[in-house]
């Protein structure tokens, strides 16, 4: 398990992200969609994580995404189907993600455009 690169745990009724220390140096992709996750704790040590899919969970606070800014290689994220997106247009949701995780290149399956990046940074 110490060389694990992709971990797919979708549709498992997972409530909490934990016990990833053994794969913190190697894990590149973490697929956790369709669970019951409300917080994004437990990810800070994943220095090689490039992809995080947590669509259709219970993430209600935008502050949870702030925890992802410390992941240096994170480029591809999926958040659709979470309460944070309720009452927001697709564009506004994407801007909120970019404001919190400025290095991402792909949000919810679509590449980030330079105009979106500029808008998120207030340029």
End-to-end alpha-carbon separation of the chain, Å?
44
Predicted TM-score (pTM) of this structure: 0.96
Q: Each residue's pLDDT tens digit in the chain (123 positions)?
A: 779 999 999 999 999 999 999 999 999 999 999 999 999 999 999 999 999 999 999 999 999 999 999 999 999 999 999 999 999 999 999 999 999 999 999 999 999 999 999 999 887
Of 120, 21, 2, 61, the closest CA to residue 79 belongs to 61
The tokens of 48 are what? 């090689």
Superfamily of domain 6-120: Ribonuclease Inhibitor (3.80.10.10)
Sketch the domain layout of the chain as residue ranges: 6-120
Contacts of 68 (CB under 8 A, 6+ apart): 40, 43, 52, 74, 77, 100, 101
């Amino acid at each position: 398990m110490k060389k694990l690169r992709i971990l797919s745990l979708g549709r498992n009724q997972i409530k909490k992200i934990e016990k990833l220390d053994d794969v913190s140096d190697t894990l590149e992709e973490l697929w956790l969609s369709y669970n019951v996750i409300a917080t994004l704790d437990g990810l800070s040590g994943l220095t090689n994580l490039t992809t995080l899919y947590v669509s259709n969970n219970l993430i209600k606070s935008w502050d949870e995404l702030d925890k992802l800014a410390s992941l240096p290689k994170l480029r591809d994220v999926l958040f659709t189907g979470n309460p944070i997106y309720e009452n927001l247009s697709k564009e506004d949701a994407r801007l909120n993600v970019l404001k919190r995780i400025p290095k991402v290149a792909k949000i919810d399956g679509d590449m980030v455009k330079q105009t979106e990046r500029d808008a998120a940074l207030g340029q």
